[in-house]
Structure 1
Amino acid sequence: MTQIQERTGVATVGGNPVTLLGPEIKVGDQAPDFTLNKDLMTEVSLADYAGKVKLISVVPSVDTGTCDAQTRRFNVEADKLGEDVVILTVSVDLPFAQSRFCGAAGIDKVITLSDYKHRAFGQAYGLLIKEIQLDQRAIFILDTNNTVRYVEYLTEMKEHPNYDAALSALRELV
């Protein structure tokens, strides 16, 4: 049985230090595969988005202000990016909560995916917060070959990502 890597001193929640489980993903790495729930019964993997440039927006929960704003921002930007790009928002929220949120917020361009079952995405991408079992906020951009081209790990859960930097990196790939 392999030991899960624990990373300390790299993230906080409300100013309190937390432990992230899993490796730090870096630019140039091959993106780890994942299995996430699109709805309660339907699972998807990285292969389901083959041939597309992928922006993966990771949020702790769509029911918080920063996560709501982050998801709305990428939903607006999705219209400007074309057919070769997919924006995936990943959280540990139940698919029901994600669906309710998207309906209420008019989110129709971003695909929400849930890491609720196994928390395996969070561990594979080095984001699972050991103490509270949520995924830390982050942005990953993958090219069509699933090579990581942009990474932003947020150090404080409540901070917003650098939207402009992420979108600039994304536009360079399309």
Structure 2
Amino acid sequence: MTTERTGVVTFAGNPVTLIGPQIQVGQKAPDFEVLANDRSKVHLSDFHGKVKLISVVPSLDTGVCDAQTRRFNQEAAGLGEDVVVLTISADLPFAQKRWCGAAGVDRVITLSDHYDMSFGRAYGTYMKEHRLECRAVFVVDKDDQVTYVEYVPEVTQHPNYEAALAAVRQAAGK
């Protein structure tokens, strides 16, 4: 049975339906299957033993998503080798690769959920009306426990960068 949630998020002021559960702090992070820029399959388990900052955006080709990904890319340099920053969107892997090259983004790993929205369905970020991800940030510790969750209430607005980065530092013991 697919969980559908309404009244949680708006997109440009319009309510949307989110498919998938609402992730909670303290729960085990659900696994997912997304595609890397070379179209290889990537799973949460590929990053076991690292703190994971998962930045979720609708499309890298929009202003706020671009700024969010650039900000986390800039911050990634100071987070240490035991932290990985993942940006997940429904953009095609080819578009993500092109965007990263043009933007000079080299510390964030962009991952595509376009194929079957596995991440969106597992983390409750799949916007049914648009077949895009809503804006969200998750921090998952080295043992794959969720330590921070933010579903941004209005998709066109920025997440709370400071709170997310503080959660990453705490999970990484910094």
Q: Which TM-score applies when normalising by structure 2?
A: 0.97
Partner of 1:50: 48
Distance, in Å, in 2 between the alignment partners of 1:151 and 1:41 is: 27
Distance, in Å, in 2 between the alignment partners of 1:24 and 1:57 is: 16
Distance, in Å, in 2 between the alignment partners of 1:34 and 1:49 is: 12
Question: Alignment partner for residue 94 of structure 1, among 92, 114, 119?
Answer: 92
Partner of 1:33: 31
RMSD of aligned residue pairs (Cα, Å): 0.7
Distance, in Å, in 1 between the alignment partners of 2:38 and 2:69 is: 20
Partner of 2:81: 83
Runs of 4+ in 1 over 4 A off after TM superposition: none
Partner of 1:137: 135
Deviation (angstroms), 1:39? 2.6
Distance, in Å, in 1 between the alignment partners of 2:102 and 2:156 is: 22
Distance, in Å, in 2 between the alignment partners of 1:145 and 1:134 is: 28
Q: SS at the partner of 1:172?
A: helix
User: Is the CA contact (8 Å cut-off) linking 2:39 and 2:93 kept in structure 1?
Assistant: no
Give the counterpart letter for 1:84 in structure 2.
D
Instruction: For structure 2, list consecutive stretches of 5 or more residues without a partner in the other structure.
Output: none
Give the counterpart letter for 1:70 in structure 2.
Q
Q: Which TM-score applies when normalising by structure 1?
A: 0.97
Distance, in Å, in 2 between the alignment partners of 1:25 and 1:123 is: 11
Deviation (angstroms), 1:113? 0.2
Distance, in Å, in 2 between the alignment partners of 1:44 and 1:114 is: 9
Distance, in Å, in 2 between the alignment partners of 1:15 and 1:132 is: 14
Distance, in Å, in 1 between the alignment partners of 2:10 and 2:153 is: 6
Deviation (angstroms), 1:104? 0.6
Deviation (angstroms), 1:146? 0.6
Partner of 1:63: 61
Q: SS at the partner of 2:159?
A: coil
Give the counterpart letter for 2:171 in structure 1.
L
* Deviations 1:92-137 (CA, angstroms, capped at 9, x unpaired): 0000110111001100000000000001110110010011110100
Q: SS at the partner of 2:10?
A: strand
Q: SS at the partner of 2:8?
A: strand
Counting aligned pairs with the same residue, the percent is: 60
Deviation (angstroms), 1:40? 4.8
